[in-house]
Amino acid sequence: MRRAGKSAATVLDRLCSMVKPGMSTFEIDEAGGELMSTMGIKSACKGYRSGHRVFPSYTCLSVNEEVVHGIGVKERILKEGDVISVDVCIRENGFIGDNCRTIPVGKVAPEIERLLRVTEESLFLGIEQAVDKNRVGDVSNAVQSHVESAGFAVITNFVGHGVGRSLHEDPQIPNFGKSGTGMKFRKGMAICIEPMVNIKSPQIRMAQDGWTALAVDGLPSAHFEHTILVDNGAAEILTIPDGYEKAEQFFADLLPA
Ligand code: MF3
Ligand code: CO
């Protein structure tokens, strides 16, 4: 799980650093596929089945009002002021690493910057609650409280999840709920916490392609995710890219004070 997490984070980091206005989401996805093959790992998105549908791209790339599960396409060209969520989930030696970040394309409006910041903060507040003997609802409540006190809306159609040899394992980790409820965490459990946050309405609808979830109000949406390992004390974040000895340094670089 540690190796898979590190690889998933390394791919995510590299893809985020190449995002620029003028690029298509197809190009980013192709780069992701190539990088995975160089690293000797496989996408856990490509070929993912839901009913009779098969997910076609290596990564999920969701622009602006696209909430999650966007497909890399040649027609979607990034422009200054957009945001893009890059969701990378891979399999290595039979284990899954899954992580996501929403990043600005060039300069974005202050309200969108705030959306990204609040969503990532809610992820870290959730991670803080994921400790032995706490319950799933403690994570859910920490995420929801932070998002709603900032005036934003948590999406309830999708949830985080347990993770291991399969991408989606028990328990579900909702981004909304009551403290003290739900399954009890035990040291050694691996979970993905992944708040998805809209600016105004939490309502989503499905795009024509059958995969992409869209914010009904058409406003930008944010999504951040880490794979973590529950411990007695602070959880271990498994999705820290290669080249960072310490998680603290990675986060200091991501979120300048
Ligand atoms: N990180 C996403 C999730 O946990 C990955 C979905 S893969 C897809 O649901 F194929 F469904 F897009
Ligand atoms: Co996930």
How many Cβ atoms from other residues are within 10 Å of residue 231's Cβ?
Answer: 16
pLDDT for position 246: 63
pLDDT for position 242: 86
Lining residues, ligand 1, CB within 6 Å: 45, 48, 55, 60, 69, 87, 89, 98, 100, 192
10-residue mean pLDDT profile of the chain (257 residues): values are 97 97 98 98 97 97 98 98 98 98 97 97 96 98 98 98 98 98 98 98 97 98 98 94 73 60
Range of the structural domain that residue 90 is part of? 2-254
Q: What predicted TM-score, i.e. pTM, was given to this entire model? A: 0.96
Identify the sign of the CA torsion 125, 4, 105, 68.
negative
From the CA of 69, which ligand is nearest? Answer: 1
Closest ligand 1 atom number to CA of residue 225: 1
Residue 92 maps to which CATH number?
3.90.230.10
Count of domains observed in the chain: 1
